[in-house]
Each structure stands twice: as structure tokens, then as C-alpha cells.
């Protein structure tokens, strides 16, 4: 009988494309399973102090989540296990809920439309300001941070009315304190900067390191939606972000068969608050869905490599096509986000946005394809196409004729032949 060997989580020397295969597995021992089991128990044996039990009831924690949460934490370089949620929007909403009354949430104009809608509802309910900005315009974002900081940090619990400013901008809490204070506490800081880069669906690229640094200097928390890039292309926690969120439904799971989300942080306080939000709101994931997500994670590196290669070639061909008004893809040398993406990412991703003259033409293209699938969502092995303004909640600044492509892993020539025929 061999003695158990440490799991991949204890091997920081491994490359990310090895980690996705090896992490989140049981310890090695003769006769042990290669894959973690699917734990379907809703309750667990415990007595005495329930807080001392590792598992008691599956709404709070379950071993069904642990391998995936640990695997994702290792990929994102989080000091603590991640938190899997029942959907990406559940994770997003939990994080947005950390913005205190009287504070400000600064969020990209071209964010995921579900995030924008959720932010508006939570801001109205909790009494904080919502400010949308062009996340690619660094000066505009910093100006928005300064304006929000000038309002002062929210009042401490028990001080004045909810949302009342307690200090001028110069007295805002230091970044380190802001990350660890409770809601309504004097260390809350002036709010949160939400970064999505590249943005959905316009593919704008933020100067992520500079924006995180600027926000932290002014006492803001920072959350980065890393769904498009995945932890293989960028790890925002390494740059000082407080929280990273994912729609696990997309690239991490990768097969369009689960709906899940995740949030990661290296702050004990923030993780506890997000864990409480997940538990008390019931935004939990099913054991089988999480097991499928971990299985999908195993092939993330090879899927992303193939999809990115396809996307680069298709973007170049779209940029030269006479029916296309504009092509946005960070891998194109003339794309506005190319230099930033090249400097701060390990690849350009597999999402393309291109625009044709009218909404009618865009709809006709989406209806004419036979290999591409006209559908919402992204990040699966199959290639998807969608006119984004068909969603009523999509920002009006998104062109009516914009089509978003989620490029999959099919044969490149087959994909282009189908798309070119639809363009014609």
C-alpha cells in the first residue's frame, strides 16, 4: 500500500495548463478513485457545537463543492477556497451587495447586461449610487473614482442616517482596511470599482493594473469579472483586486450543460460575508452540476487554445470582408485594446464582435448560418452567434447591427465557410 501523495493544490510549481488537469483530485493511494465522488447528501452527521463541524447541512457547505472550489482558487491564485454559486448572476449579485449604503458602484457601461440590471436593482434597494463608465478610458474611470471618493466614506454603524457621508475624500479608509471591514463599518471606503475586461459585448480592454491601483489608493474595493479571459489569460487577484467573479457556465465548465457561478477572494472577511450571502439567500449549486464543471475544467487549456486560434483567424477574415463595418477582437493589431491585451493578458480570448449595416442584416446572418448556432451564452465547445441588441436590456450604445461570436473548437475552414455564406 502506498502512502497518500499531496494533491496538486500543494504544487505551486505547476503550470496552469497542468493545474486544470491535476487539481481538485483525491489524494493518491492504492485503490483510490482518480476523480472525486459526487456527494449527494443534504445533511451530515454532527453533534455538539455546529460551528465546529466541517459539514452539517448542504446549504452551508458540502464536500460536493470542495474539489471545484479548491481547483478554481489555485488557478486564480486565491489564498482561500472559492465559493461556487447557483449561477454567475448569483455570484455577481452577492458581490454587488457588498457596496454599502451611501457608497458608489462604478461599473463599465458595456458590462454583461445581467450585471447592469442587477446593479441597478440592488443600488435602488440598498441606497448606493451607480455610475457607468467607459472602462477603457482610464482617465474617465479615475475621474469617476475621485468624484465618488469626494463624497466621503459611508457612515459607521450607528452614526447618522444610512448612507450619510462620514468623512471628506482625504479621510477615506486605506485600501487594506476597506477590504476587511463589515458593511456599515467605518472602514467601508467609498464603494466598489467593477472591472470587466474584455467587456461584453464590445470587447473593450481596461488597463487592469492601473485601474486596480488607482481604486485601491482611493479606498475602493475592486471586483473583476474574469469570465471572458479565464484565469489562464489573467489573474486579477495578483494585481490587487479584492474579488474575482466567474460565470462558470461559460469557459470553465465549457460544454453548455450547467448554470453556475463563482466568487474568489483572499480576504477572510470578504469570503465570510459572501459565504453568508450564499447561504442565507440559498444561491447554492447542485452537486452534479459542480462535478460536471470540474470535469469540464480539465480541458479548459486545450479548449481555449483551439478556440483562440480559430478566433484569431476568423477575426482577420471578418476585418477584410466587405459586408463588415467593424470587427472588434483584441488579437487584431489595429484593435483599440490590442496593446493593452498583449501587455497584460496571456492571450486574446475567443469572443469576437462584428458589426454590419443594420439590425435586419445582422438578424438575417444569424438565421442563415447552418454550423454556427444562433443562441445566447458563450464559452462552450460549439460556436455561437447572436445579435446582442435583441435583448431589450442591452445598452443602447451597443450597435443594432452588432453580432457577438463565441468561437468554438470546430474545424476552422468549416466555420468560416458557413459564416461567409451567411454574410453573402
Pair (242, 351) in one structural domain: no
Q: Confirm whether 6 is domain-assigned.
A: no
Pair (325, 261) in one structural domain: no
Pair (322, 241) in one structural domain: no
CA 152/CA 172 separation, integer angstroms: 6
Pair (171, 290) in one structural domain: yes
CA 42/CA 55 separation, integer angstroms: 10
Write down the catalytic residue from 134, 207, 225, 418: 225
Return the C-alpha cell found at 133. Answer: 463608465
Task: Please count the CA atoms within 13 angstroms of the CA of 277 that sit on its side-chain side.
Answer: 22
Write down the catalytic residue from 151, 250, 278, 340: 250
Residues of the chain with pLDDT under 50: 1-9, 156-186
Three-class DSSP category at 396: coil
Pair (147, 279) in one structural domain: yes
From 262, 297, 332, give the residue that closes a domain.
297
Q: What pTM did the predictor assign?
A: 0.90
From 265, 297, 329, give the residue that closes a domain.
297
From 297, 318, 344, give the residue that closes a domain.
297
Q: Confirm whether 17 is domain-assigned.
A: no
Count: domains in the chain: 2
Pair (119, 246) in one structural domain: yes
Question: 321 lies in which domain range?
Answer: 301-423
| 194, β-bridge pairs | 223
The number of beta carbons lying within 10 Å of the beta carbon of residue 161 is: 9
3-state secondary structure 329-377: CCCCCCCCCHHHHHHHCCCCCCEEEEECCCHHHHHHHHHHCCCCEECCC
Per-residue pLDDT at 276: 97
CA 331/CA 339 separation, integer angstroms: 9
CA 396/CA 377 separation, integer angstroms: 20
Pair (287, 227) in one structural domain: yes
Write down the catalytic residue from 55, 57, 59, 342: 59
Q: Confirm whether 347 is domain-assigned.
A: yes
Over residues 86-122, the pLDDT tens digits come to 999 999 999 999 999 999 999 999 999 999 999 999 9
Pair (270, 347) in one structural domain: no
State the burial class of residue 412 (Cβ atoms within 10 Å of its Cβ: 0-12, 13-18, 19+).
Answer: middle
Pair (222, 92) in one structural domain: yes
Pair (363, 313) in one structural domain: yes
Q: Confirm whether 34 is domain-assigned.
A: no
Q: Confirm whether 162 is domain-assigned.
A: yes
Per-residue pLDDT at 54: 85
Over residues 267-306, the pLDDT tens digits come to 999 999 999 999 999 999 999 999 999 999 999 999 999 9
Write down the catalytic residue from 25, 39, 112, 418: 112
Q: Confirm whether 49 is domain-assigned.
A: no
Q: Confirm whether 189 is domain-assigned.
A: yes
Q: Please confirm, yes or no, whether 55 is among the known catalytic residues.
A: no
Q: Please confirm, yes or no, whether 225 is among the known catalytic residues.
A: yes
Tell me, what CATH number does 109's domain have?
Answer: 3.40.640.10
Q: Confirm whether 16 is domain-assigned.
A: no
Q: Please confirm, yes or no, whether 13 is among the known catalytic residues.
A: no
Pair (401, 292) in one structural domain: no
Per-residue pLDDT at 181: 36
Tell me, what CATH number does 382's domain have?
Answer: 3.90.1150.10
Three-class DSSP category at 79: coil
Return the C-alpha cell found at 402. Answer: 452588432
Per-residue pLDDT at 145: 98
Pair (211, 360) in one structural domain: no
Amino acid at each position: 500500500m502506498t502512502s497518500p501523495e499531496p494533491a496538486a493544490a500543494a504544487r505551486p510549481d505547476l503550470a496552469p495548463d497542468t493545474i486544470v488537469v491535476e487539481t481538485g483530485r483525491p489524494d493518491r493511494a492504492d485503490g483510490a478513485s482518480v476523480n472525486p465522488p459526487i456527494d449527494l447528501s443534504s445533511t451530515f452527521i454532527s453533534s455538539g457545537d455546529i460551528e465546529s463541524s466541517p459539514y452539517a447541512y448542504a446549504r452551508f457547505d458540502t464536500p460536493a463543492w470542495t474539489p471545484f472550489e479548491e481547483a478554481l482558487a489555485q488557478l486564480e491564485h486565491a489564498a482561500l477556497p472559492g465559493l461556487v454559486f447557483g449561477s454567475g448572476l448569483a455570484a455577481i449579485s452577492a458581490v454587488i451587495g457588498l457596496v454599502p449604503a451611501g457608497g458608489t458602484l462604478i461599473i463599465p457601461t458595456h458590462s454583461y447586461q445581467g450585471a447592469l440590471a442587477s446593479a441597478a436593482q440592488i443600488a435602488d434597494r440598498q441606497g448606493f449610487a451607480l455610475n457607468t463608465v467607459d472602462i477603457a478610458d482610464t482617465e474617465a474611470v479615475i475621474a469617476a473614482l475621485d468624484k465618488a471618493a469626494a463624497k466621503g466614506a459611508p457612515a459607521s454603524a450607528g452614526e447618522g442616517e444610512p448612507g450619510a457621508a462620514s468623512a471628506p475624500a482625504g479621510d477615506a479608509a486605506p485600501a487594506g482596511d476597506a477590504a476587511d471591514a463589515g458593511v456599515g463599518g467605518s472602514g467601508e471606503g467609498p464603494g466598489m470599482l467593477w472591472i470587466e475586461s474584455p467587456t461584453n459585448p464590445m470587447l473593450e480592454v481596461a488597463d487592469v493594473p492601473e485601474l486596480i491601483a488607482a481604486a485601491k489608493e482611493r479606498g475602493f474595493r475592486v471586483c473583476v469579472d474574469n469570465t471572458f479571459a479565464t484565469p489562464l489569460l489573467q489573474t486579477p487577484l495578483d494585481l490587487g483586486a479584492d474579488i474575482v467573479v466567474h460565470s462558470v457556465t461559460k469557459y470553465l465548465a465549457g460544454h453548455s450543460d450547467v448554470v453556475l457561478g463563482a466568487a474568489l477572494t483572499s480576504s477572510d472577511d470578504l469570503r465570510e460575508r459572501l459565504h453568508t450571502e450564499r447561504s442565507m439567500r440559498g444561491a447554492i449549486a447542485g452537486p452534479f452540476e459542480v462535478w460536471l464543471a470540474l470535469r469540464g475544467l480539465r480541458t479548459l487549456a486545450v479548449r481555449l487554445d483551439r478556440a483562440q486560434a480559430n478566433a484569431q483567424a476568423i477575426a482577420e477574415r471578418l476585418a477584410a470582408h466587405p459586408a463588415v463595418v467593424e470587427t472588434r477582437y483584441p488579437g487584431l493589431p489595429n484593435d483599440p485594446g490590442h496593446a493593452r491585451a498583449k501587455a497584460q493578458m496571456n492571450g486574446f480570448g475567443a469572443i469576437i464582435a462584428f458589426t454590419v449595416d443594420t439590425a435586419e442584416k445582422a438578424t438575417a446572418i444569424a438565421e442563415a448560418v447552418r454550423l454556427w448556432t444562433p443562441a445566447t451564452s458563450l464559452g462552450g465547445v460549439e460556436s455561437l452567434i447572436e445579435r446582442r441588441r435583441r435583448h431589450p436590456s442591452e445598452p443602447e450604445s451597443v450597435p443594432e447591427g452588432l453580432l457577438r461570436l463565441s468561437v468554438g473548437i470546430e474545424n476552422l475552414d468549416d466555420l468560416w465557410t458557413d459564416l461567409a455564406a451567411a454574410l453573402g
